[in-house]
Amino acid sequence: MKLHELTISQLNNLLRKKETNAVEITKDVLDRIAKTESVLDCYISIVEEKAIERAKNIQNKMERGQLQSHLAGIPMAVKDNICTEGILTTCASKMLSNYVAPYNATVIQNLYDNGAILLGKLNMDEFAMGSSTENSYFKKTRNPWDINRVPGGSSGGSAAAVAAGTAIYALGSDTGGSLRQPASFCGVVGLKPTYGSVSRFGLIGCASSFDQIGPITRDVTDCALVLNALVGKDNKDSTTANIKHIDYAEFLVNNVKGLKIGIPTQFMGDTLNEEVQKAVLEAIEVLKRLGAECEEISLPSMEYVLPTYCTLAFAEASSNLGRYDGIKYGYRAKDYKDLEDLYKRTRDEGFGSEVKRRIILGTYALSAGQYEKYYKKALQVRRIIYDEFNEAFQEYDMILGPTSPDTAFKFGTKIDDPMEMYKNDILTMPANITGLPAITVPCGRDSNNLPIGLQMISKQFGESVLIRAAYTFEQNTEFHKNRPII
C-alpha cells in the first residue's frame, strides 16, 4: 500500500517503527495531489514548500523525542474558511480571493502544536453556503467515486481530498450538515462535535450559533485522534465549554451491547432514496446483532427543521457578512460614485448568488416588522426542537438514521433549485439546531457504486458514545476499507 492510502494510526505506527518519516509521507501525498488535482480540484491553495520544510522540522523534533502526538508528521489540509497565518483564506469567494489571514485559528494552532503538517486549503461552497461545492468562486470539486458528480458540500474539498488520498485527514466545518453530508457522499468519516466543544476562533463565521469545526477522516480511530487535538475550552471563544478533557481513543471499543438506539420514523420517510433506506436498515440489523437495542421513535418537530434553520442561520449570516464592504480587506469594486455606491457594487460583484440570497432572506427575517414573525418565532421553534431531541435522550443513548436522503448527485442538477438543495441537509440540520454531536460513517453503496452514510446523533458532549458505536459498526463491516479508484 502507498503511504497516502494509509490512515493516521497506520502512518503513526510506521513513524514509530522508523519505517518511514514525515518528509517521505508528505512528499508522497504531495505527489498524489500533483497526479490527481487536475481532475479532482480539491484544493484552492497548496503550500508545497512550506509543507516539506515543516515536515523536516517535525521529523527532527520527533527524532529528539519532542513530539508524542499521533498527529505528528501527518500531512493534512483544512477547509478554506479556517484562518491560517500567512496563507490565503478565501472562503471560496471573490470577496476574499486575495485575503491572507494575519493569525491562526485556534484549531490550526492546536494541530501545529501536535506536529501536524498543513498541505493547503480546501475548496468549499462560498462562505460555507451550499451542499455541493458548486458555489465556489474558484472551481468545482469532483467526487472521487464518480467525477461527474458533486462531492457534497459545503466541505466538499475536504471530503473529496480525504477519500482520494490527497490529504490523510482534513478539517471541515458544519453549519447545517456541511461536514457530514460531503463525508457521506465521499464515503469517509465525519464528525460534528457538540456546539461549544471546539473553538470557533478563526473560523470565518457563517451562522455563529450553528457553526462547528470537525474532523473528516478515513476511519473512526483517526476521527478520535483528531478530535483529541481539537476539543477544549478556548479563552478566545466565549461560547466554548469548560468540559473535562477526555481521551476519545479510549472509547474505540468494539462493543454496543445494551446501547439504546432510537430510530425516528421521520428520518426514514418515503422521500428517502430506496437504496439509502435499505443500507440504513441493514446497518440497524448489524447493530442489533451486536447487541444494541433499536426502537422506532417519533420526533414530530422534524417538520419544522428546514424553516427554522433557514430563518435563523440566514439571519445570523446576514449580519456576519456585513463586514465584507470593500473598506478594510478583500475585493473592492473599481468604479464607484460615493460610499453607498462602493458598498453596493463591491457586494454585488464580490458575492455569488447563493450568498446574496441568504443575505437578503436573513436581513428580511430581522427587519422591523418581520422580526417577531420570523426570527423570534424561529427561536421559539428552535427551543421546541431542542427539547424534543433532549427528551429522546432521556431514554436513548443515540439517535440513528441516514446522513443524507440521497447519494451524490450530478453537477448542475440541483443548483438552480435552492429548496431542493436545502432539502439535502434536512437530516443533518437538527444536530446544528440543537447543538448536539453527530457522526457519519460509510454504511453501503448504491447501484452506481456511490457511498451511503449512516448518521448517529448523541446527547450533549456525548462524542464518546458516537465513537464507540461508530467504531463497533466499522469493526464489523468493510465499507470504510473501500477507496475510490482515481
Q: How far is the CB of 367 from another protein (least distance, A)?
A: 5
Please report whether residue 38 would count as binding another protein according to CB under 8 A.
no
CA 152 to mean position of chain CA atoms:
10
- Residues 109, 319, 413, 482: which binds another protein (CB under 8 A)? 319
Please pick, from the candidates 1, 368, 419, 485, the single residue that binds another protein as defined by CB under 8 A.
Answer: 368
Of 66-74, 164-172, 428-436, 446-454, the window that binds another protein (rule: CB under 8 A) is 428-436
Q: Where are the alpha helices (DSSP H) in 203-264?
A: 220-230
CB 358 within 8 A of CB 318: yes
Q: Does 433 bind another protein (CB under 8 A)?
A: yes
Give phi and psi for 413, each to the nearest 5: -80, -25
Helix H or strand E segment including 421: helix 418-423
Q: Please report whether residue 360 would count as binding another protein according to CB under 8 A.
A: no
Q: Does 325 bind another protein (CB under 8 A)?
A: yes
- Using the structure block, give the residue that is written with the C-alpha cell 512528499: 27
Strands of 260-264's sheet in order across: 43-46, 117-122, 75-79, 169-174, 212-217, 189-192, 438-445, 451-458, 398-402, 260-264, 293-297
Residues 149-178 that bind another protein (CB under 8 A): none
How many chain residues are in contact with another protein, going by CB under 8 A? 56
DSSP 313-363: HHHHHHHHGGG-SSSSSS---S--SSHHHHHHHHHHHHS-HHHHHHHHHHH
Instruction: Return the residue of 5, 31, 237, 282 that touches another protein, per CB under 8 A.
Output: 237
DSSP string of 118-184, one letter each residue = EEEEE--SGGG--SSSTT-SS--PPBTTBTTB---SSSHHHHHHHHHTSSSEEEEEESSSTTHHHHH
Q: Which of 322, 353, 417, 449 binds another protein (CB under 8 A)?
A: 322
Q: Which residues from 65-84 bind another protein, rule CB under 8 A? A: 81-83
Instruction: Identify the residue among 152, 153, 196, 350 touching another protein (CB under 8 A).
Output: 196
Return the residues of window 328-347 that contact another protein according to CB under 8 A.
328-329, 339, 343
Residues 176/432, Cβ–Cβ less than 8 Å: yes
Q: Judge contact between 257 and 290, C-beta under 8 A.
A: yes
Rounded distance, CA 443 to CA 480, Å? 8
Q: Are 153 and 182 in contact (CB under 8 A)?
A: yes
Q: Figure out which of the listed residues 146, 282, 336, 386 binds another protein, where binding follows CB under 8 A.
A: 386
Interaction of residue 304 with another protein, rule CB under 8 A: no
Among 17, 18, 242, 337, binds another protein (CB under 8 A): 242
User: Any idea which residue has 457578512 for its cell?
Assistant: 321
Nearer Cβ to another protein (242/394): 242
Is 290 one of the binding residues for another protein (CB under 8 A)?
Answer: no
CB of 63 to another protein, least distance (A): 35
When asked if residue 97 is in the footprint of another protein (CB under 8 A), the reply is: no
Segment interacting with another protein (CB under 8 A) among 27-35, 100-108, 218-226, 280-288? 100-108
Mask for 387-426, x = binds another protein (CB under 8 A)? ----------------------------------------
374 binds another protein (CB under 8 A): no
CA neighbor of 425 nearest in space, from 98, 180, 209:
180
**Whole-angstrom Cα distance, residue 241 to residue 144?**
37
Min CB(352)–another protein separation in Å: 17
Please state the closest distance from residue 303 (CB atom) to another protein, in A: 19
Catalytic: 79? yes
Q: Which residues pair with 457 in a beta bridge?
A: 399, 438
Select from 15, 23, 44, 99 the one that contacts another protein (CB under 8 A): 99
Nearer to another protein, 217 or 434 (CB): 434
Q: Please say if 56 is a catalytic residue.
A: no
How many other C-beta atoms can be found within 10 angstroms of the C-beta atom of residue 291?
12
Active-site residue identified among 178, 184, 301, 404: 178
Residues that bind another protein (CB under 8 A): 81-83, 89, 91, 96, 99, 101-103, 105, 195-196, 200-205, 207-210, 235-239, 241-242, 315-316, 318-319, 322-323, 325, 327-329, 339, 343, 363, 366-368, 371, 375, 379, 382-383, 386, 433-435, 460
- Which positions are catalytic? 79, 154, 178
